Structure 1
Amino acid sequence: MRRSMLGRLAVAACSLSLLTAFAPAAGSGVTDSGAGRSYKKVGYFTQWGVYSRDFQVQDLEANGSAGKLTHINYAFGNVSAEGKCFTGNIPGEADAWADYARPLDAANSVDGVADTWDQPLAGNFNQLKELKAKHPGLKVLISLGGWSWSTHFSDAALTPASRKAFVASCIDLYIKGDLPQDGTRGGAGAAAGVFDGIDLDWEWPGSAGDTDTVYRPEDKRNFTELVKEFRTQLDAYAHTQKRGTKYELTAFVPTAPAKIDAGFDVRRIMRDLDFVNLQGYDFHVSGEPRTAQQSALYARGDFSVHGTVEAWKRRGAPAHKLVMGMPFYGQGWTGVTGGGDGLGQPATGPAPATWAAGYEDYKALKKLADSGAYQIHRDRRGGHAWLFDGTTLWTYDDPQVLRAKTGYVREHGLGGAMFWSLDADTADGELVTAVDRGLRGR
Structure 2
Amino acid sequence: MLKSKSKALWTGLLIISSLIVAWMCSQNVQTVQATSSPYRNVMYYGDWSIWGGQGNFYPKDIPADQLTHLNYAFLDFDSQGNLKFTDKDAATGAPVGQEGVQWNSASAGLFNAFQDLRAKNPNLKIGVSIGGWSKSGDFSTVAADPAIRAKFVKNIASFIKYTDLDFVDIDWEYPAAVRQPDKVDNTNDEGTPNAKAADKQNYIKLLQEIRKEIDSQGQKLGKTYELSVALPAAQSKLKNGIDVPQLFKVIDFANVMTYDLNGAWTPNSAHQTALYGNPKDPDYASGLSIDQTVKYLEKQGAPSQKLVIGAAFYSRGWNKVAAGTDASHPGLFQPATKNNKDADQTLTYGAENYSPKKAGDGGRAGGVWPYRNFADLKTKTPDLKEYWDDVAKAPYMYSQKTGEFYTYDNPRSVGYKAAYVKEHHLGGVISWMQSQDKETTSTKRDALTKAIKNGLFGTSALPARKLAAPQAKITATVVPYKENGAGYEITIHNQAQVQETDEVLKMVETAAATVKLPKLYLPVNGSETLSKGDYRAGDVTVKDGQVVVDLASVYDAHEIEPGATYTFRLKSSAKEVDVKRISKITLAQRFAKNGAEQQQQTIYGK
- Uncovered stretches (5+) of structure 2, i.e. residues with no partner: 12-35, 182-190, 338-348, 356-361, 441-445, 460-606
2:426 alignment partner, one of 408, 414, 421: 414
1:55 alignment partner, one of 48, 53, 57: 57
Distance in 2 (CA, whole Å) between partners of 1:248 and 1:407 is: 25
**1:27-426 correspondence runs (5 A):** 30=7, 37-51=37-51, 52-53=53-54, 54-60=56-62, 65-87=63-85, 94-104=86-96, 108-109=97-98, 113-116=99-102, 119-172=105-158, 174-177=159-162, 192-193=163-164, 195-209=165-179, 211=181, 212-213=191-192, 214-241=194-221, 243=222, 245-299=223-277, 300=279, 301=284, 302-339=287-324, 340=326, 341-348=330-337, 349-355=349-355, 356=362, 357=365, 358-365=367-374, 368=377, 373-390=383-400, 391-426=403-438
Deviation, structure 1 residue 126: 1.5
Q: 1:337 to 1:117 in 2, by over 3 A?
A: closer
Contact 2:130 2:171 in 1 (8 A): yes
1:189 corresponds to: none
Q: 1:210 to 1:48 in 2, by over 3 A?
A: farther
Question: Which residue identity is paired with 2:44?
Answer: Y
TM-score by length of 2: 0.60
Q: Which structure has more RCO (C-alpha within 8 Å, separation ≥ 6)?
A: 1
Deviation, structure 1 residue 376: 1.1
CA offsets per residue over residues 304-361 of structure 1, 9 Å max, x none? 1001111111111110000011111111111222445111222232111212522111
Q: Indicate the larger mover: 95-104 or 319-328.
A: 95-104
Distance in 2 (CA, whole Å) between partners of 1:239 and 1:292 is: 48
Q: 1:295 to 1:360 in 2, by over 3 A?
A: same
Distance in 2 (CA, whole Å) between partners of 1:430 and 1:99 is: 27
Q: Which runs of 4+ in 1 moved over 4 A?
A: 26-33, 366-372
**Number of residue pairs aligned between Structure 1 and Structure 2:** 383
TM-score by length of 1: 0.81
CA offsets per residue over residues 108-166 of structure 1, 9 Å max, x none? 22xxx220357413111121111011012311111001110001001110022221111
- Report sequence identity in percent: 33
Q: 1:118 to 1:298 in 2, by over 3 A?
A: closer
Deviation, structure 1 residue 372: 6.2
Question: Which residue identity is paired with 1:436?
Answer: K
Deviation, structure 1 residue 83: 2.6
For the aligned residues, what is the CA RMSD?
Answer: 2.5
Contact 2:208 2:250 in 1 (8 A): yes
Distance in 2 (CA, whole Å) between partners of 1:215 and 1:418 is: 26
Question: Which residue identity is paired with 2:107?
Answer: L
Question: Which residue identity is paired with 1:222?
Answer: N
- Uncovered stretches (5+) of structure 1, i.e. residues with no partner: 1-25, 88-93, 178-191
Contact 1:148 1:210 in 2 (8 A): no
